[in-house]
Amino acid sequence: MDLTVDLFGTSFRNPVLLAAGTCGFGEELAAVAELDRLGGLVTKSVTLEPRAGNPAPRVAEFGAGMVNSVGLANPGASAVRRERLPWMRDHLEGLQVFVSVAGHTPEEFFEVVEILEDGPGFLGFELNLSCPNDARRGGLPFALDPEELARVVEGARDRTARPLLVKLAPNTPAWSPVVRAAEESGADGLTLVNTMPGLVLDPFSRGPLLGAGAGGMSGPALRAVGVHAVWSAARLTELPLVGVGGIARGSDAAQYLLAGASLVQIGTASFWDPRAAERVVKELGEFVAGQGVARVTELVGGARMPGSGEDGVRRKPDQNPKLEG
C-alpha cells in the first residue's frame, strides 16, 4: 500500500502535513514527535517585520473546538531567512516544507517572498490571504476580495518559481470568484480552509475568552465546512487542493481526499496531542488498506455524491453509511 503523493514536481512521503500556525517552524514538535513520519509542514505565517502578537490568552477551547487570536506572532522575514530556514534544512530532511507568508499590503507579501526566495530548507510558499485576526488595513481579508487576491498572487508569482499555494477563507460568500482569481493569477494549488471568524464569551465576566476579543474558530466543527469547501473548489478547478479543518483521525483525512484534496493538513488536533498527525498517517494507511486500493491517491475525488452518477441514490437516513464523529 502506497501513501506517497507526487505533486509540484516532487514526492510527498504521504499526504499529511502540519498546518500553518500550529507547529512554528517545526522546532518544538521535533522534540516530542517523529516528524519524519509526515509528508511535510507549513510554517507559521511570516511577515516583513517581526510581530509580537496579541495579548494572552491567545487560544481557548470551547465545546466544539478552539478559538485563537495569535495575531501573527513571528520573527519577521529577515530572521526567518537567517535562522529558521537553515534550521529546517538541517533538521527536516525528507519533509516538504511550505513557508506561509502574510502581510497587510500586497507589497509586504512581495518583499517577504523576495527575502526568502533563494533561501534553503523549503519547497514552496503558502500565501495566507485569509487570516481572520489581521485583515488588511481598512478592508476584508484578501481571500474575500477576488481582485485584491489576484494582485497578491500575481505579484508573488512574478517573484518565485517555487510552488505557490493560496490559502482561502471558509466564510467566502461564493467559491467561484476566488477560485478563478487564484487560478488565473498563477496559483499552483489552493489550501482550504483557514479558521472561521468566531467569538466565545464568558457569560459571567461578560468578556471574551481570548485576550484580543474575537478570533478564528477551528477543530471538529470546522471539518464539515472544510470538506464542503474542497468539494466545491474541486468542481471549479483542476488545481491541486490541500484540505485543512478539523482533521483528527485517518477517517477525517479520508473525507477530504474523497472530496478532492490531494494533501491534507493537521492543525488544532496537534494542540491536543502533539503526535496527532503521525496517528492520522497510520490510521489513513489502515483506511486505504481496508478499502482494497493500492495507492492513497486513488481516493482523491472519489466521493459518491447524489447525482454524481456512480452512486446517485439519495439514501434514506437509516441507510446512510455510518459516519464517525
Binding residues for ligand RRO (CB under 6 A)? 21, 45, 68-72, 102, 128, 131-134, 194-195, 216
Minimum distance from residue 174 beta carbon to ligand RRO (Å): 21
Helix (H) or strand (E) holding 281: helix 276-290
If the CB atoms of residues 72 and 80 are measured against ligand RRO, the closer one turns out to be 72
Nearer to ligand RRO, 145 or 283 (CB): 145
Write down the least CB distance from residue 325 to ligand RRO, Å: 22
- Cβ 7 to ligand RRO shortest distance, Å: 23
Active-site entry in 17, 20, 38, 131: 131
Between 218 and 262, whose beta carbon lies closer to ligand RRO? 218
C-alpha 221, offset from chain centre: 15
In the numeric block, the cell 537553515 is attached to 86
Is the previous residue joined to 99 through a cis bond, with omega within 30 degrees of 0?
A: no
Q: Which residues contact 106 (CB under 8 A, 6 or more apart)?
A: 148, 151, 152, 155
Residue 131 appears among annotated catalytic residues: yes
> Rounded to whole angstroms, how far apart are CA atoms 81 and 16?
25
Cβ at position 112, least distance to ligand RRO in Å: 13
**Residue whose CB is nearest to ligand RRO in the complex, by number:** 216
DSSP state, residue 81: I
Q: Is 248 helix (H, G, I), strand (E, B) or coil?
A: coil
134 or 283: CB nearest ligand RRO? 134
Which H or E run contains 192? strand 189-192
Q: Which is nearer to ligand RRO, 17 or 281 (CB)?
A: 17
Q: How far is the CB of 265 from ligand RRO (least distance, A)?
A: 12
Give residues with Cβ within 8 angstroms of 63, minimum separation 6: none
CA gap 37, 83 in Å, rounded: 24
Which residues participate in catalysis according to the annotation?
A: 131
